[in-house]
């Protein structure tokens, strides 16, 4: 059987549906999440409102990936073991837990989930000159509170500090870094589950 490789950045949901893939609904949500992430990149430093909306779209789609997997796999014999494994990771990993809770807050409350860049511009007079300084560009994540419990922006992911990942993505704002890491995790999860439960045509997915 020929294996399928595709790039989430360069495939549409309609094109994806041509393939007989067990987790087609979850893959469709990965494409939606990718499109939301691409919007975040295209907005850049311009409209905060558009950036915020793209981030909220990402949260919705990436969380639905798991829901679609659960719905599709619930009657598969090998599913309980895989479900237990990934539920544990989603529950314990600070980044994945934050993503899920931020989605809940975005969906069910009117609370902010990110804040706009504060350049903190300072002008310091010198001898015949003025020195300007400002904070590096970012659109920081905010703590989110769901059912009385507050979840802070993640400081770790898969046992590594977030700084480890941010150093590899210089200049990228915090929501983009977190989105990338969540996408990597969910893409790998979909490939593993697909190959385990649906002797598969799916070989790999590129998402960057």
Q: What is the mean pLDDT of each run of 10 residues along the chain (208 residues)?
A: 71 82 91 95 91 97 96 95 97 97 93 83 72 72 94 96 92 93 95 85 61
Q: Give residue 171's pLDDT.
A: 85
- Domain, as residue range, for 146: 4-206
Contact 162, 138 (CB under 8 A): no
Domain count of the fold of the chain: 1
CA 123 vs CA 45, 91, 130, 131, 137: distances in Å: 22, 46, 6, 6, 18
């Amino acid at each position: 059987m020929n294996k399928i490789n595709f790039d989430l950045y360069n495939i549409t949901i309609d094109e994806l549906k041509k393939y007989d893939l067990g987790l087609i609904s979850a893959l469709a949500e990965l494409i939606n999440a990718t499109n939301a992430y691409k919007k975040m990149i295209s907005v850049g430093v311009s409209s905060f409102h558009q950036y915020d909306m793209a981030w909220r779209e990402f949260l919705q789609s990436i969380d639905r990936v798991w829901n679609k997997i659960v719905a599709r796999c619930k009657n598969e014999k090998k599913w309980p073991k895989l479900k237990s494994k990934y539920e544990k990771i989603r529950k314990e990993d600070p980044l994945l837990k934050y993503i899920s809770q931020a989605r809940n807050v975005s969906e069910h409350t009117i609370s902010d989930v990110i804040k706009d860049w504060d350049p903190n511009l300072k002008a310091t007079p010198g001898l015949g000159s003025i020195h300007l300084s400002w904070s590096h560009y970012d659109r920081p994540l905010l703590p989110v509170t769901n059912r009385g419990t507050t979840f802070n922006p993640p400081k770790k992911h898969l046992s590594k500090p977030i700084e480890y990942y941010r150093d590899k993505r210089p200049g990228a704002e915090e929501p983009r870094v977190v989105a990338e890491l969540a996408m990597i995790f969910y893409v790998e999860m979909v490939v593993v589950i697909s190959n385990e439960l649906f002797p598969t045509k799916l070989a790999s997915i590129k998402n960057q």
